[in-house]
Amino acid sequence: MNGGLVDREDLDRKQDSALTPEEHLLVKPGDIAYNMMRMWQGAFGLADREGMVSPAYVVLKPKATADSAYLAQVLRAPRLRYLLRAYSYGLTDDRLRLYFDDFASIPVAMPSLNEQRRLAELLEVWDEAIGATEQLLTNRRALKSALAEKLLLQPMAESRECGQVSPRDSIWQRKTLGEVARVTSGGTPDRAEPSYWGGEIPWVTTGEIQFNTIRSTAERITESGLRQSSAKLFPPGTLLMAMYGQGKTRGQVAKLGIHAATNQACAAVLLLDGYDPDFYFHYLSAQYEAVRALGNAGTQQNLNAGILKGLPVPVPPAAEQQLIVRVLNCLDQAIQITVARIQLLRAEKRALLADVLGGKRRLEDAALTP
């Protein structure tokens, strides 16, 4: 589903089979094999070598008028993904099956063989560009993580190891988060009261805090909802931290760029005068795993304001805070640009494929480079 056809020996999990070789299906280069139970999720692969797959798969050998690389691109198109699900049978998602007779009846646009090949080559250029940009994103995130550790966490570790004799202690003080910020949270207005919802104020929940950013909020509340409930409005620059949730949801950090309200599942960290919100945003983000591990009390392992207030934090001189912020903000900007580039490349590829499949334009009219 993610890597196409993969050699069994390359998989980490055990893959023993009780079937004899004769009970498997032969796959040759250029064939497409798909999983009958997972094709609605896009579980297929284009073979680049000869091999065998289990009878849980269907092996497609393109006819003389079809190019397999083109078909592999078509099967990833949103419209085809929709049809693959629509033509599958089963009472629930985990029981959906796409048998060959049903697969074969799915309508698909088939231009000339020459144009199929040209389109496959063109889309492969987009795939390579997307792959290269995704690798760039991975590299930039790794650089940000390494620099954040060097600039933010290593000085604190050196300070702890050296006690009070390190020269760093005279420069970087150590305090708790409760000493440098006000840590609080809001409540949730009554959802049965229609006058509280559908207003102009963004309502941020833990689901919107992802990857150190806040996604577009799905809900908005009214001013009356704020006035007549325990909900609170927080200003730009407030740090929000998810206190509840399973796995890696809890402990995520984001910084508000606008006025917004939130519920009790998010801790709002309002830095006091003299403490740079951007600096502590980067510090708490770098300390994400450590902060998440603090929530060990109780069966839910949730955080609370008291735990967060006791979190040790560094206090460098203001000039050093600002310098570190400039460096890390620059990397964040580069990461955001790279993410936007990936989204643009994917959108361009989808649009090109949709237009060609829909007959809106010929390949000769399409741009030849992403």
Provide mean pLDDT across the span 9-16. Answer: 70
DSSP 212-264: TEEPPPSEEE-HHHHHTSS-EEE-TT-EEEE-S-STTSTT-EEE-SS-EEE-T
Q: Does a structural domain hold residue 90? A: yes
User: Among the three residues 312, 336, 359, which one is the final residue of a domain in this structure?
Assistant: 312
Cα–Cα nearest to 242, from 311, 279, 295: 295
Report residue 154's pLDDT band, with 50, 70 and 90 as the boundaries. confident
> What is this structure's pTM?
0.75
In this predicted model, which residue has the larger pLDDT, 230 or 273? 273
Q: How many domains does the chain have?
A: 2
Q: Does a structural domain hold residue 295? A: yes
Provide the CATH number for the domain around residue 179: 3.90.220.20
Provide mean pLDDT across the span 25-51. Answer: 93
Mean pLDDT is lowest, of 1-5, 36-40, 198-202, 296-300, for 296-300
Q: Are the C-beta atoms of 335 and 140 separated by less than 8 Å?
A: yes
What percentage of the chain has pLDDT greater than the value 70?
85
Provide mean pLDDT across the span 200-215. Answer: 76
Q: Does a structural domain hold residue 366? A: no
pLDDT tens digit string along 327-345? 999 999 999 999 999 999 9
Provide mean pLDDT across the span 67-93. Answer: 90
What percentage of the chain has pLDDT greater than the value 90?
36
Q: Does a structural domain hold residue 73? A: yes
**Range(s) of the domain holding residue 300:** 175-312
Q: Are the C-beta atoms of 311 and 259 separated by less than 8 Å?
A: no
Q: How far is CA 77 from CA 99, 119, 174, in A?
A: 20, 13, 54
Is residue 110 pLDDT above 70, yes or no?
A: yes
User: Among the three residues 279, 297, 312, which one is the final residue of a domain in this structure?
Assistant: 312
Q: Are the C-beta atoms of 152 and 324 separated by less than 8 Å?
A: yes
Q: Does a structural domain hold residue 259? A: yes
Where residue 268 falls (left for φ over 0; alpha for ψ -120 to 50; beta otherwise) is: beta
pLDDT tens digit string along 167-199? 444 478 889 999 999 998 877 777 778 888 888
Provide the CATH number for the domain around residue 34: 3.90.220
Report residue 251's pLDDT band, with 50, 70 and 90 as the boundaries. low
Is residue 165 pLDDT above 70, yes or no?
A: no
Do 211 and 297 lie in one domain? The reply is yes
User: Among the three residues 312, 334, 363, which one is the final residue of a domain in this structure?
Assistant: 312
* Side chain identity, residue 183: V
pLDDT tens digit string along 278-336? 999 999 888 877 777 776 555 456 778 888 898 889 999 888 899 999 999 999 999 99
Q: Does a structural domain hold residue 78? A: yes
Q: Does a structural domain hold residue 345? A: no
DSSP 172-201: SEEEEHHHHEEEE---PPPTT-GGGEEEEE
Q: Does a structural domain hold residue 23? A: yes
Do 89 and 12 lie in one domain? The reply is yes
